[in-house]
A and B are shown apart, each in its own frame.
Chain A
């Protein structure tokens, strides 16, 4: 597909602590407090917003924000950043209510992927692919790319390796490209919570099932850097386009994807040999470089920047020169920060101070977090300008179906009209109102939606009992 729709679902970690760091509220209670204004407005903890994104509480009381459909990856970064803003605002108002109430309790939302006991939660990428494309052929080419992509887009972090079957033995802590890699158990499957795969095959196209399929990639780390988030989508999109193009592709299928993903995470040189299914070996750097070189044959002129950034990221691993990466890519920003704090405080990599630092990096607090401190000093990238992010809080992407959903939600909220929407369907709850279905994610105009908007604006007196 030359134009592709994509979206990003982020589950956030939630902790509510007293000033002394002990837990003040259980996650369920903290989530209830956080979502109080959402439920007050939408009478549900599962709503679609004016920017056409979905906000809800997922399994395990994880607040989840799913961006609207985007066909431009900077739009997607803006929509994702908007989600952080929206949630940070909810955190701010919840903490103000708790303080007013005299409670010693403060909520932190963490855009990361694992709690202190190793429970995992996700950052799921969605890509629209053509139903006619051979979905069965796709993983063979995509998997080696996804296994090694972490050397570019990983969030970095520390893992402690212990001898097998000895969970209390002294371990060896090390800095890795991606902690998420240790939570991957299969290459391709339909599971998400038990045996988590790299590619999830649940077939929910959220569109015309005869034309579209949704590729659900769940191997990614939640990224804070806008450059890292952009690269996740922009590079994967280019690789998908290559696979769809029918040209000859590199045969890089790995002998064991799961063994390889853990090796790649731990090898900061990108040069460790990885066994190929067909015999012989490759390396993470080689897999990425092969795809990057090929991508230059399908990239549009406007995508030259993506190719250059991708190359800079690979060069940072190849040469060990982190000067660019340490200000642009999550794993390298965190690598530098961790080494500075280790040196300054004389602590080991597995000291709880370093884990606290990691949590601070992923805390979405716009003023007090470690990441905010880095951004203020230009030590983490802020690519999108303020206006674009502020606009994305209230406005859906204009070039996809999200534009229609955003208009309906915005009008319905303005006029106090009860409505129910999901990814494909728009409907008013008043009796006699027929649902409008939009099965083409690229559709941005619809007479039926125009009629629906007219009904909302015309007969829009709030129904009795409505907020």
Chain B
């Protein structure tokens, strides 16, 4: 029964959560805190805070941990499966169809026409990240990190891994206070 509850909680949260992992967090909270009462709001907040401090997608970290706490290893597996599998299957089915007809002018036009929209969506996300950095660490640190990372990534073609590790180091030293 607990496995069924875990499955349905994370299935519902993620199938309704448009806009990637962060958009599903309030839905996860509604299932986990309000419907099933597995934790209170404060505990949920702590799990979320730790999740945000660690790398990787947030929705799956929450699902894995909450599933594990409720029903051990199998609980974690069930929660992760419910989070990831349904939308992934739809995605694979759609893209296989698209791939089969990829030489059709209609399909080529589909890819082309959505590009400016993707550019806007990515630009918007970029702005979100800049804005939250600005409110969080102020404009001086934001600008320093922005200019340094742009220079390294775009001009010097440094691999993002090194730039991210460098930014983590910068943050640990200058932004910890």
- Indicate whether A and B interact: no
Chain A residues in contact with chain B, CB under 8 A?
Answer: none
